[in-house]
Structure 1
Amino acid sequence: MKKIIIMFSAVLMAVSISGCKKNENTAQEKLPTIGIAKLLAHPALNSVEKGIQDELTAKGIKVNYDLQNANADMNIATSIANKFKSDGVDVTVGIGTPMAIALLNTLQTTPIVFAAISDPVAAHLVPSKDKGGKNITGVSDAVDIESQINAFRSIVPFTRLGMIYTSSEDNSVVMHKVTKEVCDKLGIKLISQPITNINEIKQAAESLIGRVDAFYVVTDNNVCSSLNSITSTAAANNLPVFSADPSSSLQFGGVLYTAGADYYVIGRLAGQQIIDILNGKKTEDIPTRYMKGAKETQTIIDNDAANALGVTIPQDLISENTIFLENGKEVKK
């Protein structure tokens, strides 16, 4: 009998220890959840998403991810925001202006990090460039449009510049306004064609043929996701395309010269802000991060487009970070 009692006690102890280990493992596996939502899938926004994950991995930060895509539908964007709220995620990320706005409209206390937004102040996401919002901060992809256009004009001396932009996207409307002001200052006629969705881009590009000398693509989410609709139309009419979005230029090709923010770097920088928030830093104390220097920006030259147009890129527009494309693939200088 004594032997049976001893054996039973040993079994109970083993079960108890096993249960403790299971509870310990459960506690250890309780990781913070990062909800990442992008407006739609296209090269630039995908690069941001990857950069965020790579930054947290590189810093040894273990988290669970909830990755969402609004497919350029604001109803879906709002549903994603509500999902993040009901799930109680620890930090949310809005990639693209409309997505970030949807998160801010829904989440009053959950920290939000925005990414790939040209003017977060004009979009009413943060109060100023130097201060984060009550529960939001992030990384901008703003570029100096005047410097860009001057660079583009040193390659092809155009006087009429065509621009397609999404009239319902705050980011695009702001960039269109700034581009118009810059063109007026430089004596360039900006001929614009607003769109409301991706399906209108091809027709918009065709409507500008005969009226423009070159196309200018800004970081408009719809336009960048269907960049090939513009480049194919431009190529068929021997017109150059210039862009501020390196990621889509790399994917689709056909853009003569691209100069803009490196979206993968934007993701890495957003990842750093997420880590700061997880470590207890308030978003109000994290100002918007802007791109700085050559290492955070990217220039791309499509040799095929240059050869087809019979133009040579000035040497002062080529840096050690410049990427050259031929037949859609990167080549050495």
Structure 2
Amino acid sequence: MTTRRQALALLAAAAAAPLASRAAEKYRLYMVTWRGMTDVEKGFKEYIARHNIPVEYIWRDANQDRAKLTEFSKEIAATKPDLIYTWGTSATLGITGPADAPNASLGSIPVVFALVAHPTGAKIVTALDKPGRDVTGVYHVATVAAQLEAMRAYRPFTKLGTLYNPAELNSVATINDLRAEAQRRGVTLLEEKFALGPDSRPLADGIEERVTRLKAAGAQWLYLGPDSYLFTQIERVAAAANKEKLLTFATTESALEGESKVLAGLVSRFYSIGEFAAFKAEQILVGKKKAHDIPIETLTRFQFVVRMGVAKAIDALPPITLFHYAEFRE
């Protein structure tokens, strides 16, 4: 005869069985990065670990080679992971396809992206609040209006220079926003583009000459947008600008790190972006929400970073008012 205590124990064991099964199974998460692991992925993985979400990672890096994204898509279609994570505009578009010509081989596999600067401008989705497809994620760039206001707080200007890759949708969309905001403020926007090779890929030819032309035309700031190729050349670009004593402004955290001598920027923390993307992955995997029902968002706070070593070197110290809220680094 089964006692009351034995019956309760059997019920408890039965209730725990699905959880144990899920823990044993693990969610399979296919990660696609564009140029290696970054603090974004660190934040993503550590969030997943802190919340005890059982995940098996399959990591693939494109090493900035779009051809590899086609190979990854085939592997995804064959292995059918529970979720796809993508880093940046190029990797995301290469896996998902644009909203008007989606990658059908993905089927219903949800995608969470991180570090896409302009999700609608890059045509990944048609709207941020309602993605309209099984793709959601986190963008990382403050509004152009906020960026220009930060620059003005440091040093007012009437002419703004920029250098960008015309072959990158993300960059073109950002420049379009920059043109509109500059016009609204009565600021003259001076544009230079990276040279393109026969295959329409950007070239590093003439970087210094382009920066010199911007300075000669009267640029008071050099705006460094969220441009993947620009980042690969950031040290040369910043060095050329500093030689001309042209103030530089970054829109992504990575441009303010390492050996690049960029003066200032309004940026989001890569680690925090990764955590936020992981939260959205949790909503899908654990909460069973559909990616198309999860809005695409960014962080609510950005850091105004100033590199004092650069400021001193080019004789462009910040005004005392910035000491109330900016973050100062050497």
Give the alignment's TM-score, normalised by structure 2.
0.81
Q: Does the C-alpha gap of structure 1 residues 95 and 198 become closer, same or farther in structure 2, counting only changes over 3 Å?
A: farther
SS in structure 2 of the partner of residue 287 of structure 1: coil
User: Is 1:208 matched up with 2:203?
Assistant: no
Q: 2:53 pairs with 61, 64, 70, which one?
A: 61
1:187, distance to aligned residue in structure 2 (A): 2.3
Match for residue 266 of structure 1? 273
Q: Which AA in structure 2 matches 1:83?
A: E
Q: Does the C-alpha gap of structure 1 residues 186 and 307 become closer, same or farther in structure 2, counting only changes over 3 Å?
A: same
Match for residue 288 of structure 1? 296
Q: Which AA in structure 2 matches 1:219?
A: P
User: Is 1:30 matched up with 2:38?
Assistant: no
1:315, distance to aligned residue in structure 2 (A): 4.2
Q: Does the C-alpha gap of structure 1 residues 27 and 117 become closer, same or farther in structure 2, counting only changes over 3 Å?
A: closer
Instruction: Measure, in 2, the Cα distance between the counterparts of 1:224 and 1:316.
Output: 30
SS in structure 2 of the partner of residue 94 of structure 1: strand
Q: Which AA in structure 2 matches 1:71?
A: N
Please say which of residues 88-97 and 195-204 is displaced more in the overlay. 195-204
Q: 2:253 pairs with 243, 246, 264, which one?
A: 246
CA displacement, residues 169-224 of structure 1 (integer Å, 9 cap, x when unaligned): 21111110111111122222212122243634735435534233321111111112
Match for residue 193 of structure 1? 192
Contact 2:167/2:202, CA 8 A, preserved across alignment: no
> What aligned pairs does 1:1-333 form with structure 2 within 5 A after superposition?
29-41=24-36, 46-105=38-97, 106=103, 107-195=106-194, 196-197=201-202, 199-200=204-205, 202-203=207-208, 204-211=210-217, 212-279=219-286, 280-293=288-301, 297-318=302-323, 322-326=326-330
Please say which of residues 152-161 and 177-186 is displaced more in the overlay. 152-161
CA displacement, residues 299-332 of structure 1 (integer Å, 9 cap, x when unaligned): 2111111112323323444456x43222xxxxxx
CA displacement, residues 113-139 of structure 1 (integer Å, 9 cap, x when unaligned): 111122212333233221233311111
SS in structure 2 of the partner of residue 183 of structure 1: helix
SS in structure 2 of the partner of residue 124 of structure 1: coil
Contact 2:160/2:223, CA 8 A, preserved across alignment: yes
Instruction: Measure, in 2, the Cα distance between the counterparts of 1:250 and 1:289.
Output: 25
Instruction: Measure, in 2, the Cα distance between the counterparts of 1:95 and 1:319.
Output: 34
Q: Which AA in structure 1 matches 2:62?
A: A
SS in structure 2 of the partner of residue 190 of structure 1: strand
RMSD: 2.4
CA displacement, residues 100-123 of structure 1 (integer Å, 9 cap, x when unaligned): 112213323111011112221233
CA displacement, residues 223-267 of structure 1 (integer Å, 9 cap, x when unaligned): 123211111111122221111112221223422211122221111
SS in structure 2 of the partner of residue 154 of structure 1: helix
Match for residue 11 of structure 1? none
Contact 1:253/1:302, CA 8 A, preserved across alignment: no
Contact 2:165/2:202, CA 8 A, preserved across alignment: yes
Instruction: Measure, in 2, the Cα distance between the counterparts of 1:315 and 1:62.
Output: 49
Q: Does the C-alpha gap of structure 1 residues 208 and 70 become closer, same or farther in structure 2, counting only changes over 3 Å?
A: farther
CA displacement, residues 130-186 of structure 1 (integer Å, 9 cap, x when unaligned): 123331111112312122213213323333222111212211111101111111222
Instruction: Measure, in 2, the Cα distance between the counterparts of 1:198 and 1:257.
Output: 25
Instruction: Measure, in 1, the Cα distance between the counterparts of 2:185 and 2:313.
Output: 27
Structure 2: unaligned runs, 5 residues or longer: 1-19, 98-102, 195-200
Q: Does the C-alpha gap of structure 1 residues 315 and 292 become closer, same or farther in structure 2, counting only changes over 3 Å?
A: farther
Q: Which AA in structure 2 matches 1:114?
A: F
Instruction: Measure, in 1, the Cα distance between the counterparts of 2:256 and 2:206.
Output: 16
Please say which of residues 274-283 and 26-35 is displaced more in the overlay. 26-35
Which has the higher Rg, Structure 1 or Structure 2?
Answer: 1
SS in structure 2 of the partner of residue 258 of structure 1: strand
Name the count of aligned residue pairs: 295
Please say which of residues 266-275 and 182-191 is displaced more in the overlay. 182-191
Instruction: Measure, in 1, the Cα distance between the counterparts of 2:121 and 2:285.
Output: 27
CA displacement, residues 23-42 of structure 1 (integer Å, 9 cap, x when unaligned): xx99965322211112224x
Contact 1:253/1:325, CA 8 A, preserved across alignment: no
